[in-house]
Chain A
Amino acid sequence: MNTCPENIIQYMDDYLDGDINAADEAVLKAHLESCIDCRKQYHELTKTIAFVQSASHIQAPADFVQKTMQRLPKQSQRGGVQRWFRKNPILTAAALFCILMSAALFTNFNDDQQFAFTKQENLVVEGETVVVPEGQVVTGDITVRNGDIRVEGELRGDVTIVNGKYMASSGVITGEIEEIDRAFEWLWYQIKSGVKEAATIFSGSEDMEE
């Protein structure tokens, strides 16, 4: 076979591919008549092809369609939530902001478990109770955290009590009384006072005594 022309192999491949012109085919046929090695090669190749083509057609398992359909992603599930986030970036940012803000406020609520009140003149403290003594006049607003307040004298201002009680007594209060007990109200109060603080930012802030 070493003496055979190089192009015979090429023609043989072309012929087996079904892609050969008449002139080349004639050259190939003439050569195969005269060359035993090439004829053997050619017969082995055609046998090989027939052998591979004798492979019977294989069928997919009976439940193939059903199993395949089960594997398809459900259309509604396909990233529904993520798609919503992507479509509404501003709402997403707002939602994230609310979550972080409320987390911060609740943290404040939990941190502020200590007794505290607004320092004003003439106030007396008994344990965890702030007292406006009889015959005294206190001017200004008072906030009490985690404690009670009793007014026996006169208070010219508002009272805010967080986690505590306003104890009824004979005193006089010229402002409003507000009691805040639950977390939700505390949150609401924080937001309200935040707005108020922003509005009166130049009018000075309260002094707190812990």
Chain B
Amino acid sequence: MDALVNKRIKKVLKGDQNAFAEIVELYQHQLYQICYRMLNNKHEAEDIAQEAFMRAYVNLHTFDQQRKFSTWLYRIATNLCIDRIRKKKPDYHLDAEVRGTEGLDMYSSIASDDQLPEEELMRMEVQERVQYEISRLPDKYRAAIVLKYIEELPLAEISEILDLPLGTVKTRIHRGREALRKQLSNL
């Protein structure tokens, strides 16, 4: 697989743009899936996945062919997803006190909208529910959980994609797992 990809990369670097289409073909589903699980929105997932391929194409000359291409590509995509999630967040601070209330901060008002009512959760299809629960995870844990349990990547590779030490990746997976367990305690 890697030899095959490196052959395509060499072609692209020589100016053959069509060889890049074959690379996109190979990785499109996995990359789109990561983006969709991270962003919980089909249009945004498509946009960011395309953006990731575009950046990979433009910066292909910086890719070290001794390494794994998918790791490099996923890293571009997860960084773009995390940037997008942060930009979407409103720029006020969550722990700022809400005006006109005493001791009420943004956490308390978010918590009430964030959690869907019980009956609605019960009506959800399993697939819908999985996506919903993943999307409720804090983005730090979400990336680790998606890469570990949906992409089923080894911890060492996740650590390279997220540019974090192995110990930190483990901690995030453990905390993400624990957060999901609590979210699903009524299941």
B46 within 8 A of partner (CB): yes
Tell me which residues across on chain A come within 8 A of B174, comparing CB atoms.
13
Q: How many of chain B's residues touch chain A, expressed as a range?
A: 35 or more
Asked if A54 and B50 make an inter-chain contact with CB atoms under 8 angstroms apart, the answer reads no
A48/B184 contact (C-beta < 8 A), A59-B29, A75-B15 known: yes
- What is the minimal beta-carbon distance from B101 to any residue of chain A, in angstroms? 35
B85 within 8 A of partner (CB): no
Query: By CB atoms of chain B within 10 A, which of A16, A41, A51, A52 has the most?
Result: A52
Asked if B29 and A60 make an inter-chain contact with CB atoms under 8 angstroms apart, the answer reads yes
Q: Please tell me which stretch of A64-72, A80-88, A165-173, A178-186 contacts chain B, meaning at least 4 of its Cβ atoms lie within 8 angstroms of it.
A: A64-72
Asked if B130 and A54 make an inter-chain contact with CB atoms under 8 angstroms apart, the answer reads yes
A57 within 8 A of partner (CB): yes
Give Cα distance in the complex from A60 to B58, angstroms. 22
A39 within 8 A of partner (CB): no
Asked if B17 and A75 make an inter-chain contact with CB atoms under 8 angstroms apart, the answer reads yes
B149 within 8 A of partner (CB): yes
Tell me which residues across on chain B come within 8 A of A58, comparing CB atoms.
29, 32-33, 36-37
B121 within 8 A of partner (CB): no
Among B29, B54, B185, the residue within 8 A (CB) of A68 is B54
A55 within 8 A of partner (CB): yes
Q: Which residue of A lies closest to B51 (CB)?
A: A71
Tally the A-B contacts, defined by beta carbons under 8 Å: 102
Asked if B180 and A60 make an inter-chain contact with CB atoms under 8 angstroms apart, the answer reads no
Asked if A17 and B150 make an inter-chain contact with CB atoms under 8 angstroms apart, the answer reads no
Q: How many of chain A's residues touch chain B, expressed as a range?
A: 20 to 34
Asked if A56 and B54 make an inter-chain contact with CB atoms under 8 angstroms apart, the answer reads no
Give Cα distance in the complex from A75 to B13, angstroms. 11
The 8 A CB mask of A61-99 against B (1 = contact, 0 = none) is 100110111011101000000000000000000000000
Tell me which residues across on chain A come within 8 A of B62, comparing CB atoms.
none
A64/B32 contact (C-beta < 8 A), A47-B187, A52-B150 known: yes
- What is the minimal beta-carbon distance from B16 to any residue of chain A, in angstroms? 10
26 contacts between A and B (CB under 8 A): A13-B170, A17-B173, A41-B181, A44-B181, A44-B184, A45-B178, A47-B184, A48-B181, A52-B150, A53-B150, A55-B37, A56-B127, A58-B32, A58-B33, A58-B36, A59-B29, A60-B29, A61-B32, A65-B25, A68-B50, A68-B53, A69-B24, A71-B54, A73-B54, A73-B58, A75-B15
Contacts beyond the supplied A54-B126, A58-B32, A71-B50: 6 A-B pairs with Cβ under 8 Å: A16-B177, A55-B150, A58-B33, A65-B25, A68-B28, A71-B53
